[in-house]
Each structure stands twice: as structure tokens, then as C-alpha cells.
Copies of this chain bind each other. A is one copy, B any other.
Amino acid sequence: MSPPDAARLSLNTATVSAQWSLAQAIEGCARHGIRGIAPWRDKLAEMGVRQAASAIKANGLAVTGLCRGGFFTAKDWKDDNRRAIEEAHALGARCLVLVVGGLEEGSKDLAAARRRVAEGIAAILPEARKAGVPLAIEPLHPMQAADRACINTLEQALDLCDALGEGVGVAVDVYHVWWDPKLEQQIRRAGKERILAYHICDWLVPTRDLLNDRGMMGEGVIDLPQIRGWLEAAGYDGCHEVEIFSAANWWRRDADEVLRVVRDRHRRSS
């Protein structure tokens, strides 16, 4: 694999969420020559959608995704997802990433949770289509099935896309899917049309926390160039969005240093 095009690098703001506001992250991207950004909605709310949209535009950044909609088992899921669609539209986001939610409180019924997710996406889909905001179902790692997302493989996400029709695709995050023996096959199945986002980081050995112990590209065991190759073979020509939750390491460092390392590792290890 030849190194990836630096112009495809995007920063998911979770990577520096402990250090920076969204305004700072936008300026940071501009300063470090990073051309894409994917904000989280808590930081977006702090900054204000209009101001964020204008700062992003002023700096010429692409919005590779808005994180996140979903959590269809939460009480106000419908209103919250409507707002998320509006915000994604206002930012001109490439997609709204859906972290679909896990089991309902007190329930062990995984099949019911999965039905509820399918119904929830179907319910918001007409508004998403009208707004021109593609919905990106993100399969999450099976270790997060109970509490964060009961969609856990790319195959399962694509089956859901098949059932839902136009306007829905997937976000492929290597952290969640790298282990899957059917990954290459299912990336091919997804194709250019349905791969709405590509998130990168690395899997550390050992991993010390189920949520916030992700590694920087090259620190772990994921063969990132290989997975990128599969995506490119499927026709994906979008960005490579770096999303690193790292309570013990990267969240503790100076954010400008983090962005320098992100740029370097994107080129050398992705």
C-alpha cells in the first residue's frame, strides 16, 4: 500500500475532547493542515451550531460526520435524533453517525433491543432523507453490546441497511470491526454507496478499559493499510477520520502534540 493522501485526514474531535473546545479544535485543524473534522454534539452545543458552521466554513473544513444520533432505547430518542439531523444538515455533514444504543434498562432481551433500533431508524429516516443527511449505522464492538450499541457486526448493520432502503449506510470504525473474519467480504458488500465514514485508531494489547483505552495508529495490532486497501477496492474515496478515546494517554497530552502525531501516524501507519 502506498501511504494515504494527507488531504483525506479528518479529526474526530473525541481525540482531543479532554483538551479542547470545538472552536479550538477547528482552529487546531486549520493550524495543522487537517482538512476534515467530525464534531461531537455536546461540544457543538457549547459553541452553538451557527457559530460552529461558520467557523468550519471559514476554515474550509469538510465535516466528515456528526457524532452522534441513535440511542433508540433512551426516553427522548425521537426528538434528540430530529435535532441531530437538523444539526448535521446545518453543518453540511457527510453523515449523522448512529450509535444505536444497547439493552433497555433492566432488560436482557437483545432481540427486542435490535427490533427497536430498526424501528427507530425507520422512524427518523424520512426526515433524514428530506434534510439530505445520510444516516451512518456504526456497528460497535461486541464488548459494548449491552450498554452502547446492539448492532455489533458490519454484516448485521448491512442487513439493516438492506431492510431500510435509501438514505442509510454504515460507519466503519476499525476499532470495532478489525477482528471480524467477515470484514473484507462485508466491506465489499457495502460498496462505495454505503460506506459513509471510515474511522481509524488502533487496538492496544493489553487493553485496560472497554471504552477509553484506544491507541494511536501504529501503536497496536490493527493492520490499517490492509483495511484501507479493502475500502479502496470497494470504491471508498472519503476521509480517514481519527477517533481516539484515550483517558490514560492521548487525552493527557498537549493537543497540538496529539495533532502532530496524528498527521505523522496517518501517513506512516494507516
Contacts and interface: CB of A to CB of B under 8 A. Distances in A.
Interface of A: 103, 108-110, 114, 141-143, 145-147, 150, 152-153, 156, 178-181, 203, 205-207, 210, 220-223
Contacts of A180: 142, 152
10 contacts: A110-B223, A114-B181, A141-B142, A142-B142, A143-B210, A147-B205, A147-B206, A152-B179, A152-B181, A210-B210
A66 to B, nearest CB: 26
A170 to B, nearest CB: 15
Contact of A181 (B143, B153, B220): B153
A179 B151 CA distance: 9
Nearest to A107: B221
A181 B156 contact: yes
Contacts of A152: 179-181
Contacts of A207: 143, 210
Contact of A108 (B110, B143, B222): B222
